[in-house]
Structure 1
Amino acid sequence: MTNHDEAAAVRPLTLAWVNRHLEAGERVVKAEALHGGMTAEMRRLTIGMRDGGTRDLVLRSFVDPFYVEHAEDGLNREAGALTLLAGTGVSAPGLVAVDPTAAHCEYPSLLMTHLAGRTVLDDEGLETRVPLLARQLVAIHALRPAVRPPEYVALTTADTVVVPQGADRAVWTAAIDVIREPAPPYEGRFLHRDFQPGNVLFDVQPSRPAGARITGVVDWAAASWGPADLDVAHCSTNLALLHGPAWGLRFAEAYEEAGGVLAAAARERLYWQVRDGLACSEEVRLVSRSWREAGRTELTTRTVEERLDAYVTAVMDALG
């Protein structure tokens, strides 16, 4: 995983590339590492303006060899998504520039505008935020792009699932058997593909948590075309691991209450919900570490494994 503190300074070639995309008379006056991401270095760049004021941009650079290998596809997807989202009702960063093959930068990079707000991963105020998350996802799925993003890619297979220590083997075997089946038919939707609390920014005032509002959605590198159930399942899994299994089940209800449409048959819903839960089994260590870095220090790898086991069991009980 990236050492974000060492990544605060912008590398020379990348800095020169950034400067070429600034307005005349502007310059980078500060670079601050942003924490919490798993796949890339993220920096907030403070730009000094000619009138003496400042504005902020965000620089994403893929430096880990594994992620560099996939950077071109991810950065092209993100650039396409940000272009599509401009002028829609979905608040997302504005695209400034992209170098998906590191033709100009040390590493594949994307430069975008900075959005106000912050991610909120705490349990407090969750009752208010879950309906907001659901409404935001419905709005994303309502978009009808003239050019569709690439088809979704499944993130796990029946043979790569990692069964947590102490889990009920019979339950997990049954869940794995579910994803051995062919994917159900679906009506395609524009997907974020990593929609979860860590990629949603909120304006939350401590004095009025009930007045929280979403200020934007970030990290569109996996934007895809596929079933709405898959985005819902991904957010459900993340909520279950962050806040407890019941919240994973609650999110699908909130999505429908917000006007979203999921698969009609319980078996089809089960397929997508289980597929995402099992996919997370392969990333528990990375996910839990990123959440601890973001302040949820109690979310040890073991705690997250136990919540994942409980959530998969709950989904199998509810839909299986």
Structure 2
Amino acid sequence: MNTVKEIREGIVRSLTPHVGKDEAEAMARIILEDAAGVSRTAAIIDPGRLLEDATVTRISAIVGRVADGEPLQYVLGEAVFMGMRLRVTPHTLIPRPETAGLVDIITDEYSGAKDLQIIDIGTGSGCIAIALARALPYCAVTAADISSEALAVASYNASALGTSNVKCIRLDALHLPMPAAPLYDIIVSNPPYVTVAEKADMDRRVLDYEPGTALFVPDDDPLRFYRAIAVYAQSALRPDGSLYFEINPLYATDMEQMLRSLAFEDVDIRRDYRGKKRYAVCLCPEK
């Protein structure tokens, strides 16, 4: 019989060899909700509910793709980030919990702020830009990316979530046009920061499916995106403006030194929820 309980147990059984039991159980909850409309609470209250054959077929197809190595978020076409359901495609990275920490730092420091100009460089799915726009509804947020495919996803997400204060534009983070006058109060970026040498230690699901252009930097220049954005920020940040980065913990010291060498003030390297040096925060150089 195709009861909720039996289907859930079957999903866990099928996926555990590939992702581990804890992750398989989490995926089972997500799959049941997405494919069958069965929430976690409903699965507990009514485990004997029968699912239609068509629903079971869809669940089987999803489980098969995940078992073959495809990330569940790409199979479903969406990811949950800070309570938001965001469209994701192979042109965009899957948002990570570490990135939510970067948003929290900014919203904690600017709670209740109005009339700020913010730009998220390398926006991907738009997760940072949209989260900031929702938390700071009286501020204007620009979501920038070099990928037109990623911008289409970010634009869809901004519209779907009702964030009319988000504007999407195409920019190359390595060739940013220097403004004639300062434009922004906040510049934030989670650019590519994984070196090619680190590939050997990465999950095949990431390597095989997520966009390499949004992940990797050359081994001999791991700070290339940060340097380009920081140089841009010297001109683009307004007085007392702030620059925020998500960083590779392996290069935290190098990041701090680079930002100080460019005269940024109050440079602070902060840790993520796992205790890793994950964020760089600093103030605009004195003008």
Choose between structure 1 and 2 for higher RCO, CA contacts under 8 A separated by at least 6 residues: 1
TM-score by length of 2: 0.30
Larger radius of gyration: 2
Which protein is richer in helix relative to its size?
2
TM-score (norm 1): 0.28
